[in-house]
Structure 1
């Protein structure tokens, strides 16, 4: 296309032929289109030779000089191909600035969010124009349906607003000295919680670098999720050591269960196992712990962690539900994933007995036979509650009730 009548004018004043002048020219030509004419308005009458030479080196066509009133117009036509496929946006002030409350959801980075990220999208997001020749990253997760969750921007904002500090927001000095049996049970529970939180920290970390940043909201949310999990690890570690007890034992069944989560390489399947099945069940466990912890400080740290986990479950639920809506055949894939994990766990065919005994002691208040039996029965009721709520979540993401029952029963005895 010949755009002989279209000129872009840049004023260079007294700039002499130098790096400073040629930098301005370089950028002006970068953002112009092929065959456009760039007019250099200068106060210098004798830079024609240098401009002609620069144009020749760059592959452009020098058109000549025109004398204006106390100024000089030098024109060069761009001949080389376009450096950018489109022009950058301008005059798109985002909502919320006037009220000093701009939210992620208020950003209008593009007219639409494409189902597949542009192939030339590098380490940048929507609205940034890529220069021709930039490397292709070939992000593994470049399709919207593989990662997207509609409330992700809202959940990200919620995560920021509900941040808490594992050092200053817990009244650590108010944790009482407990009976050693009860304290040891709590330390065993905290040990288990830390193990599981490491799983919830590391698994999203595996996938962030695979997600195309065109879908910026998702890696931002996952980063906030990882920050939550790091805080949970910190707070549960501190509680385990608060009264001098310290970490206790890690069971083979717990580590085997977490390994079966960690080795999953498909993001939708991982989201299903971790957020929908695992963290969803974890929320029920945290509700149980919050109810039966003997002191307010420990109740509070459990409550705050549970609030974070509920946000993670909300992302996973919408993510997997959306993926199923776009491809109902994924239900069969998720079913196979759940039963494959069950086969792996069945090789051991046991529960985390130290955890279960500790939960029974906590709920009963001691290891005295009657208290312990009462606590044991409460743990059995907890398992039923976990199963019922798992079934509900599975139905909510699009599975029929019979399949939801089967998959829930196949869930790991480790809870996570």
Structure 2
């Protein structure tokens, strides 16, 4: 059995110093290569609907496509400072936390608002990077899964993920005040999922774990934000993500049975 050190590079899972020592990718790099160790699989069984649940999901995906260019009100004026202030009020700040002796103790409204704005930039940047990870992983599923119904559905998810990357990038570029690079730990997770040669691990890592967490994160932000464009964008994305998680559950339920 592999040790923690072999799997994650440290003996103690909760070694905070080692966790924080992981560095982010070079911000100057415009591309990042990750070796894909999987074989591309052809199937000559083209019978559509032999897996009815996947076929139903595929048919639903066909009629659920939306256009990020035309279906979102991009003419909405976004006041990022106001959004940050509203988010802070809804979140309740630090509540009764004692900030004495910390850098936060001297902060006023200006600093808290700036932090809120940077948190928006960071959060949506990670959503964007994660969606590109999902785009790559789903394309890998098309290549590696041996069932035609799964290949059909996965091809629709590739389109979904491309659309998600597109709209998050546009929102960051036109409505917020900056991008952040890929978080180092999210990058390690995506690397591990992409590099694994087993097609079911792509499902388990992306369709179940990452997509499930993303759905929860999108739902939380959708609930908290008062900004109408972002709210509508997230609602569209969440409707896709629910299908993506279902795709993972349906496929692995059969494969692991």
Q: Please, what TM-score do these two structures have when normalized by structure 1?
A: 0.41
**Is 2:46 the counterpart of 1:125?**
yes
Which of 167, 171, 189 does residue 235 from structure 1 map onto? 167
Map of 1:68 onto structure 2: none
Please point out which of 226, 245, 248 is paired with 2:158.
226
Extract unaligned runs of 5+ from structure 1: 1-119, 128-147, 326-416
- Contact map agreement 2:144 2:199 (CA 8 A) in 1: no
Q: Is the aligned partner of 1:195 residue 2:129? A: yes
Instruction: Summarize the Cα distance change of 1:229–1:290 in structure 2 as closer, same or farther, 3 Å threshold.
Output: same
Give the 3 Å change call, closer, same or farther, for CA 269–244 of structure 1 in structure 2: closer
Aligned-residue RMSD, C-alpha: 2.2
Q: Which residue of 2 aligns with 1:333?
A: none
Deviation at 1:165, TM superposition (A): 0.9
> Which ranges in structure 2 are unaligned for 5 or more consecutive residues?
1-41, 82-112
Shift, 1:252, TM fit: 1.4
Q: CA deviation at 1:149?
A: 5.7
Moved more, 177-186 or 222-231: 177-186
Count the aligned residue pairs.
183
- When residues 209 and 270 of structure 1 are mapped into structure 2, their CA distance, relative to the original with a 3 A threshold, is closer
Which residue in the other structure is 2:35 paired with? none
Q: Give the one of 103, 106, 119 matched to 1:185.
A: 119
8 A Cα contact 1:199 1:258, kept in partner: yes
Runs of 4+ aligned residues of structure 1 deviating over 4 Å after TM superposition are none
Q: Matches of 2:193 and 2:143 in 1, distance apart? A: 18
**Bigger radius of gyration:** 1
CA-to-aligned-CA distance 1:314-341 (integer Å, 9 cap, x gap) = 011111111222xxxxxxxxxxxxxxxx
The C-alpha deviation readout for 1:258-314, integer Å capped at 9, x for no partner, is 111111221112211211222112111110010112311101101110110110100
- Tell me if the contact between 1:149 and 1:315 (Cα under 8 Å) persists in the aligned partners: no
CA distance in 2, matches of 1:307, 1:207: 21
1:49-98 CA distance string (max 9 Å, x none):
xxxxxxxxxxxxxxxxxxxxxxxxxxxxxxxxxxxxxxxxxxxxxxxxxx
Give matches, 1:396-411, under 5 Å: none
Output the CA distance in 2 between the equivalents of 1:121 and 1:200.
Answer: 23
Distance in 1, matches of 2:208 and 2:184, equals 23
Cα gap change, 1:275/1:153 in structure 2, threshold over 3 Å: closer, same or farther?
same
> Equivalents in 2 of 1:165, 1:121: separation in Å?
31
Asked whether the equivalents of residues 149 and 322 of structure 1 are also in contact (C-alpha less than 8 Å), the reply is: no
Residue 304 of structure 1 corresponds to which residue in structure 2?
236
- Normalised by the size of structure 2, how large is the TM-score? 0.65
Contact conserved, 1:293 with 1:299, CA < 8 A, in 2? yes
| In structure 2, distance between residues paired with 1:277 and 1:323 | 17
More strand by share: 1
Q: Whose relative contact order is higher, 1 or 2, with alpha carbons under 8 Å and at least 6 apart?
A: 2
Residue aligning to 1:205: 139
TM-fit CA distance, 1:208: 1.9
Report matched runs for 1:9-408 at 5 Å: 122=44, 125-126=46-47, 150-179=52-81, 181=114, 182-212=116-146, 215-243=147-175, 245-325=177-257
